[in-house]
Amino acid sequence: MSPLLSESSKVLPIHRKILAFSFIGWIFDFYDLLLLSFVVASTSLTKDLALSRYDVSVLLGTALAFTAVGGLFGGALADRFGRKPLLMITILIYSIGTLLSGLATGMWTLLAARAITGFGVGGEWAVAHALVGETVPPHVRGRYGSYLQSGAAFARFFATVVGNFLAPWIGWRLSFMLSALPALMVVLIRRQMPESDVWLAHQALRLRSGQAGSEAPTTRHVRVVGEMLGPALRKTTTLAMAVTTCNMAAYWFKTIWLPTYFHEIRGLSLEASAQLLFMDQLGSVVGYVVFGFASDRIGRRPSFTLFSVVKALGLIIITLGWEAVDSSAAFLYGAMLLVGFGEGNWGCIGPLLNEVFPTQVRSAALGIIYNLSRGVQFLAPVVIAFVATRLTFGAGIALAAPFALLAGAIVWALPETKGVRLMAKAEPAALSSAPARIT
């Protein structure tokens, strides 16, 4: 067998191509998920469809909840049929959901469209990170995972631009419809991107050992979940879920209502609100890059905790500390840069989950953990709306800070996986803090 791509001593053009396709898919994946949050504040969508703020919170939460369903099905099917075909299918699904969002006629049709979008979004993330994690050399897996995850910052940038500047001009319907165009990228992926050779080698081993065969999707999903909760992986699954869920809460408590918080609660213009959000996105891009290098050099855990603390500090300033800094644009911009920089810790999640789970459940584990953690955030917009009626909107969003700190603490219960090598062996391997080959 030829050497695996991940065994290369240097980064090759094919590694960059795999990253590029996965990166673009993730940008528009996350952009489609976020777009509703922005057009709600800047267009006539709520008036046209007779939506209340509670209705909007349900729509936002439904999309998040269905990312969990998409993560389970997309990840498990990618472990069975391959990373590449599922990457194409999930891109098509979230693009269809976005197109249907632009054709919605009321609450229920928009709810169905957002559910479809969420399903595709959940599956795409898992498949893309598994593909990149399995093909890049271990000494750059941290930074490549960060580069891929940084697509979230670009997605927020595009959602900000479209939501605050383009949507008020062309309308929310056309904004959604145009956002479905990334589905065309599937043609390029089909022609130019290779399959994960770690997955192909693993399938060959299963075939030779007699483990391969037809398996009903439902049976496979049950078996995968059972394996993740079995004795060998139960502790890893629980801890990885706890870290990701807390980090998700820190993100979504901040992201869901932030455009509304700046514009309607703090009285900022759409332009001023967009400028603050751009600072967040700029900080994120820098944070992802810095985190990737830091995690490959000093380790996943210390880097993750340090960035979590920075994020919590920025969140407290822009919420509970608003009155103390709102007279200075420099302080507000600086606080948003801190929040964005701290978001760089998301660069850890993809590589870390790749490194603690074996090949036979890797994509499913990525999809289930990441998207179930995101799916339970359907409560985030509702909780913030609830807190806002009793305290303030800022207090609701400020709940993100303690979740960030909790994630930074729990990560230390997982092993340090910097430098771990992945291979296509069929049996689960015991994890240790020393670099090793993980199946």
- 358-395 pLDDT per residue, tens: 877 888 888 888 878 877 776 666 666 666 566 565 66
> Phi, psi at residue 420, to the nearest 5°?
-65, 140
Kindly state the percentage of the chain with pLDDT values over 70.
88
Tokens of 142: 């941290």
What pLDDT shows up at residue 195? 85
Q: Is the model's pLDDT at 256 over the cut of 80?
A: no
Rounded to whole angstroms, the Cα distance separating 138 from 7 reads 8
Q: Is the model more confident about 255 or about 104?
A: 104
Give the model's pLDDT for residue 382.
Answer: 64
pLDDT in the model for residue 434: 38
Most confident of 181-190, 296-305, 413-422: 296-305
C-alpha atoms less than 13 angstroms from C-alpha of 263 in its C-beta half-sphere = 21
Query: What is the per-residue pLDDT for 389?
Result: 62
Q: What is the mean pLDDT of residues 170-187?
A: 86
pLDDT at 391: 59
How many distinct structural domains can be found in the chain?
1
Assess whether pLDDT exceeds 50 at residue 437: no
Instruction: Output the domain CATH number for residue 198.
Output: 1.20.1250.20
Q: Taking Cα atoms as reference points, which of 235, 237, 22, 48 lies closest to residue 146?
A: 22
- Tell me how far apart the 2 most distant CA atoms of the chain are, in Å: 69
**Cα separation, 53 vs 385, whole angstroms:** 8
- What's the pLDDT at 157? 84
pLDDT band at 122 (very low <50, low <70, confident <90, very high): confident
Average pLDDT over every residue of 30-50? 87
Name the β-bridge partners of 422. Answer: 438
pLDDT of residue 318: 82
Write a three-state SS string for 164-231: HHHHHHHCHHHHHHHCCHHHHHHHHHHHHCCCCHHHHHHHHHHHHCCCCCCCCHHHHHHHHHHHHCCC
Cα torsion angle, 137, 140, 146, 147, sign: negative
Please tell me the predicted confidence (pLDDT) of residue 216: 55
| pLDDT score, position 423 | 63
Beta bridge partners of 421: 437
438, β-bridge pairs: 422
Alpha carbon distance 151, 70 (integer Å): 19
In this prediction, residue 426 carries a pLDDT of 44
Most confident of the ranges 36-45, 144-153, 418-427: 144-153
- How far is residue 78's CA from residue 88's CA, in Å, rounded to a whole number? 11
Sign of CA dihedral 210, 214, 122, 96: positive
pLDDT confidence of 435, banded at 50, 70, 90? Answer: very low
Confidence of residue 405 (pLDDT cuts 50, 70, 90): very high
Q: Is the pLDDT of residue 413 over 90?
A: yes
Report the pLDDT value the prediction gives residue 438, as an integer from 0 to 100: 46
Of 265, 315, 311, 263, which Cα lies nearest the Cα of 291? Answer: 311
Using DSSP's 3-state secondary structure scheme, residue 302 falls into helix
CB atoms within 10 A of CB 307: 26
Banded model confidence at residue 110, pLDDT cuts 50, 70, 90? very high
Mind listing the pLDDT tens digit for each residue in 314-368?
988 888 877 777 777 888 889 899 999 999 999 889 889 888 888 778 888 888 8
270 pLDDT more than 90: no
Question: Is pLDDT above 60 for 429?
Answer: no
Q: What is the pLDDT of residues 43-100, one digit of tens each?
A: 888 889 998 878 887 888 788 788 888 887 887 788 888 888 888 899 999 999 999 9
**What's the pLDDT at 212?**
54
Dihedral in degrees, nearest 10, Cα atoms 6, 12, 18, 24: 130
Per-residue pLDDT at 310: 95
Residue ranges making up the domain that contains 19: 5-413+420-438
Residue 15 is inside which H or E element, if any? helix 13-42
